Structure 1
Amino acid sequence: MTSDESCADFLERIVYFLDNELDAADVADVRVHLDECAPCLQNYDLQRTVKAMVARSCHETAPESLRQRVRVQIQQIQVRYSDS
C-alpha cells in the first residue's frame, strides 16, 4: 500500500500518462504504481474510459464564424502579451 501523498502525486501524473506526455522513466514509475495500487488503477481506468467516450462523441466541427472569432481573439491576446 502506498501513502496518500504518493497517490496524489501519481494521480496528476496519470493524466500525463494517458496523454503520452511522460518520459520513459516516468512511464515506468506510473506503471509500477498502477500495478501496486488498486485505487489509482481504478482512477486510471475511469479517466481512460471518460477520455475515450469524449473522443468518440466529439465529431462536430465548429462553425467557420466561430473559428474565425477565436483566431481573432487569440491574435489580440498575443498582441497584448507582446506589448507588455
Structure 2
Amino acid sequence: MTGEEPRATDCSEVLDHLYEYLDHEMPDRDSDKMRQHIDECSPCLEKYGLEQAVKKLVKRCCGQDEVPADLRAKVLERIDAIREEDCGPGSAEGRRESGAEADR
C-alpha cells in the first residue's frame, strides 16, 4: 500500500466479516463499506473472489443434500443459546428480540 491513501476500512476487518458479506448478513451501510474496500483493495478482492468461488462450489456439490432434522434442531438451539448469552433478557436488544418474537 505504499504511496496509496489509507482506506476507511482495515483489511483485517474486511476479512473478519467476509462471510457475513458473502451471505448478505450485514446491514446495508456495512455492506457498502465492504464493497468499496473490496473494489479498491486487490488483495481483499482476490480473497473475496476465492471465498466466493469456494462457496459456489460447496453449494453446487452439497446444496441438494437434505439436512437431518436433529442437526437442524441442534443448530437452532445453539443459536438461541448464543443469542441469550450475547443479549440476555435484561439487555435492550434482548427485550427487542423478545418483543419481535411475540409479534410473530
**TM-score in same-fold range (> 0.5):** yes
CA distances 1:57-77 after superposition (whole Å, capped 9, x unpaired): 012336xxxx365478x3xx8
CA distances 1:24-61 after superposition (whole Å, capped 9, x unpaired): 11011001101110000000000000000000001233
- Give distance in 2, aligned partners of 1:9 and 1:47: 16
Identity among equivalent positions (%) equals: 32
Determine the structure 2 residue equivalent to 1:6: 10
- Give distance in 2, aligned partners of 1:24 and 1:46: 23
Determine the structure 2 residue equivalent to 1:23: 27
Runs of 4+ in structure 1 deviating by more than 6 angstroms, as ranges, are: none
Two-structure CA RMSD over aligned residues (Å): 2.8
Say which structure is richer in helix: 1
Determine the structure 1 residue equivalent to 2:53: 49
TM-score, length-normalised on structure 2? 0.56
Unaligned runs of 5+ residues in structure 1 are none
Determine the structure 2 residue equivalent to 1:60: 65
1:29–1:69 distance in 2 versus 1, CA, 3 Å: closer
TM-score, length-normalised on structure 1? 0.68
Aligned residues: 71
How many Å apart are 1:6 and its aligned residue? 1.2
1:68–1:47 distance in 2 versus 1, CA, 3 Å: closer
2:49 match: secondary structure: helix
Unaligned runs of 5+ residues in structure 2 are 82-104
Letter in 2 for 1:34: I
